[in-house]
């Protein structure tokens, strides 16, 4: 597997904001890279939870949506998908990579009858994406989005980790062939690449598959043992202290030099992560730019 030449990561949507732009629950990264063949490529990882916020921030941060080469949808939840149609339209048609189950109907339910829709916005359909010129690549196996930048494919659940932190009277379900079944969010995938002269990096959407499981999957398909960076959602929000500490212990063995948990990490887990990785930890927020390989610079706002 070949390395990409360089990588800049721009945070378009995140819960917190630095400088200009709007903060909003959700996540979107814009990846600017030179691929393994030496060609400049732009890839969008997720599209936030509010399309008005996404479009405002894209304009505020001078992100050229017409120049996007591919979209990666990490999983089928509303807070990662809001501006997909706008991006497909602006790009003149682009390939979207995601898992076959990403467009499933899914809900968070409680025993008292409460139900909250978790799925992709109803107006964002496969048919509508194709009408706008987009092409969807459904795959549960690892896929090379551009030369040197890969998806994890479906992640095996082998650790202690669970997809959600739920109370006893809660569940997460999806509708398959008209039947309601438990949703373990098997569509959750991440991106990874080796950056030349730097090392391997992993980019997550929500990490419902579990950070340790994701790392183990990348190790399995790449043969990497140590990693340079991990950025993105971790879904440690609402977790017990013991669960968070187990996750941190699992991260320590891989000698990360850059850790930037955000979005669904939660304040408590963020504090735990900072306490355990003070040198490696870098706060993320809307408007944050990461020049991979130059993390010792002061925080950069673009």
Q: What is the pLDDT of residues 197-224, one digit of tens each?
A: 999 999 999 999 999 999 999 999 998 9
Which is nearest to 216 in space by CA: 159, 170, 272, 285? 159
Lowest-pLDDT range of 16-25, 88-97, 291-300? 291-300
* Contacts of 43 by beta carbon, 8 Å cutoff, 6+ apart: 30, 31, 33, 68, 69, 70, 71, 72, 145, 146, 149, 191
- The number of distinct structural domains making up the chain is 1
Q: Give the three-class secondary structure for 52.
A: helix
CA 133, CA 169: separation in Å to the nearest integer? 43
Banded pLDDT at 298 (limits 50, 70, 90): low
pLDDT at 92: 94
Which one-letter DSSP state was computed for residue 51?
H
| Residue 28 located in a structural domain | yes
Which is nearest to 187 in space by CA: 202, 178, 174? 174
| Residue 1 located in a structural domain | no
Q: How far is CA 125 from CA 28, 66, 68, 258, in A?
A: 19, 21, 20, 36
Average pLDDT, stretch 274-302?
Answer: 83
* Contacts of 279 by beta carbon, 8 Å cutoff, 6+ apart: none
| Residue 109 located in a structural domain | yes
CA 96, CA 86: separation in Å to the nearest integer? 13
| Residue 67 located in a structural domain | yes
Q: What is the pLDDT of residues 112-132, one digit of tens each?
A: 777 889 999 999 999 999 999
Which is nearest to 239 in space by CA: 208, 262, 268? 268
Structural domain of residue 43, as residue ranges? 6-301
Q: How close are the terminal C-alpha atoms of the chain, in Å?
A: 31
Dihedral sign from CA coordinates of 234, 181, 120, 25: negative
Q: What is the pLDDT of residues 158-191, one digit of tens each?
A: 999 999 888 777 889 888 888 888 999 999 999 9
Average pLDDT, stretch 136-157?
Answer: 98
What's the CATH number where 161 sits? 3.60.15.10
Q: What are 79's two structure tokens?
A: 């807070």
| Residue 37 located in a structural domain | yes
Q: What are 33's two structure tokens?
A: 């890279």
Instruction: Evaluate whether 73 touches 48 at the Cβ level (below 8 Å).
Output: no
Write phi, then psi, for 87 (nearest 5 degrees).
-70, -45
| Residue 269 located in a structural domain | yes
What's the predicted TM-score (pTM) here?
0.96
Q: What is the pLDDT of residues 86-114, one digit of tens each?
A: 999 999 999 999 999 999 999 988 877 77
Question: Within 7-125, where are the H helices?
Answer: 51-60, 84-91
Which one-letter DSSP state was computed for residue 20?
S
| Residue 163 located in a structural domain | yes
């Amino acid at each position: 597997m070949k390395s990409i030449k360089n990588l800049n990561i721009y945070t378009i949507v995140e819960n917190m904001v630095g400088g200009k732009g709007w903060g909003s629950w959700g996540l979107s990264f814009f990846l600017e890279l030179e691929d393994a063949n030496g060609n400049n490529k732009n890839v969008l990882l997720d599209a936030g939870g509010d399309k008005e916020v996404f479009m405002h921030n894209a304009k505020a941060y001078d992100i050229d949506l017409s120049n996007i080469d591919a979209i990666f949808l990490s999983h089928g939840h509303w807070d990662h998908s809001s501006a997909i149609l706008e991006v497909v339209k602006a790009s003149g048609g682009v390939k979207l990579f995601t898992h076959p189950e990403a467009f499933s109907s899914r809900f968070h339910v409680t025993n008292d009858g409460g139900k909250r829709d978790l799925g992709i916005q109803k107006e964002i359909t496969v048919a509508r994406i194709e009408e706008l010129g987009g092409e969807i690549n459904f795959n549960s196996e690892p896929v090379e989005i551009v030369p040197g930048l890969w998806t994890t494919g479906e992640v095996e659940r082998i650790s202690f980790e669970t997809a959600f932190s739920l109370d006893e009277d809660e569940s997460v379900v999806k509708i398959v062939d008209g039947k309601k079944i438990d949703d373990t969010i098997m569509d959750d995938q991440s991106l990874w690449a080796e950056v030349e002269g730097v090392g391997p990096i992993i980019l997550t959407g929500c990490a419902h598959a579990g950070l340790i499981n994701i790392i183990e999957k990348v190790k399995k398909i790449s043969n990497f043992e140590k990693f340079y960076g991990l950025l993105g959602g971790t879904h440690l929000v609402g977790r017990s202290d013991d669960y968070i500490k187990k996750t941190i212990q699992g991260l320590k063995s891989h000698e990360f030099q850059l850790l930037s948990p955000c979005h669904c990490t939660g304040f408590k887990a963020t504090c735990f992560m900072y306490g355990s990785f003070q040198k490696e930890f870098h706060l993320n927020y809307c408007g944050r730019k990461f020049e991979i390989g130059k993390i010792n610079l002061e925080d950069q706002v673009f």
